[in-house]
Amino acid sequence: MRLRNLTLAAAFGVALLAAGVLPAHASFAGSTPRTAPASAQEGSVSAADLLAKVKSCSQISNGKYKTDDETSATVPVCGKNGAVFWKADMDIDCDGQRTTNCNADRDPWYQDDTAFHQSDGKPLKAESLPYVVVPSSSSIWKYSGAGIKGGGVVAVVYDNKVEYAVVGDTGPTKIIGEASYATAKALGIDPDPATGGVDSGVTYILFKNSKASPIESHSAAVSLGDQLAKQFLAAN
C-alpha cells in the first residue's frame, strides 16, 4: 500500500477471500496456484450471511483509521469470534512482480515488492492473486497480536459478492482499505491502479490464525476460506 494524498490524486486522476471445522493452520501443499480468480461468488457462504454477522462492531483497535491520507479517521478494527473485520473503501494495490497491468508505467506508486512472499521467495503478483493489505503495526493496532499473519485468509464482501483473498501486503500505519488488482477485478471494482477502486461499501473479514499454503495458491485460500466462513457463522 502506498500513502496517497489528494494532491497526487488530482495529478494522476486517482479514484483511488473462507469456513467449517478445518483447523486454521491447515495447509494445502498439493494445491495448484490459480492464475486468476474464476468467480466473484466463491464458496458456499453468501455475502448476506456474512454481513449479517458484522452489523455491530466491538472495537479492538486503540483508535480508528483513515481511508485516504486527507480523510478523517472513521474506521475501527472490530473483533468477532474467530475473526476481525473492518468496513472501508478499496484502493488498488499493484505492488509485487511486474506484470502487464501492474508496473511502473501503469501505477504511479508501483513498488516491486510485497511484505509477504510466495513459497519460492518472490514477491506476490497483484494482477493474478487476490490479496488484502493490512495496516503496518502501530499504537492503533498490531495485526499480529490479533492472530493475523501473512497468508491469512480473508473474505472480502462487496455488492453481494464474496471473494476470498490472503493477507499479502502491509501499508501505512494510519490508513486502511486496500486490496490487490485481482481482488478488485473479481468483485467488479475497477482495478486500474491509478484511477480505479471504490470509495466505500467493502467489508474485510480476516480469519484469525489461518494460513493458505502456499500463499500464492488462490484455490487453497478459497478451500480454506469456505470452511472458515462456515465456522465463523456458527460461532457468531
| Exposure b/e, 156-165, CB count within 10 A at least 16 = b | bbbeebbbbb
- Alpha-carbon gap, residue 107 to 12, rounded angstroms: 9
Supply the mean pLDDT for the chain: 87
List pLDDT tens digits, range 186-215. 999 999 999 999 999 999 999 999 999 999
pLDDT score for 140:
98
Task: Report CA-CA distances (Å) from 9 to 15, 66, 69, 108.
Answer: 7, 16, 10, 10
Least confident of 30-39, 77-86, 161-170: 30-39
Q: Grid coordinates in use for 79?
A: 473483533
**Alpha-carbon torsion (114, 117, 122, 128), positive or negative:** negative
Top pLDDT among 140 and 11 is at 140
- Alpha-carbon gap, residue 131 to 150, rounded angstroms: 10
Q: Grid coordinates in use for 236?
A: 457468531
| 1 pLDDT higher than 50 | no
Q: What is the mean pLDDT of residues 74-83?
A: 98
List pLDDT tens digits, range 54-66. 999 999 999 999 9
**Closest to 150 in 3D by CA, of 104, 215, 223, 89:** 215
| 3 pLDDT higher than 90 | no
| 25 pLDDT higher than 70 | no
In this prediction the pTM is 0.85
| 38 pLDDT higher than 50 | no
Rg, C-alpha atoms of the chain? 16
- Percent of the residues in the chain that have a pLDDT greater than 90, as a whole number: 83
pLDDT score for 206:
98
Give yes or no for a contact between 1 and 93, defined as CB atoms under 8 angstroms apart: yes
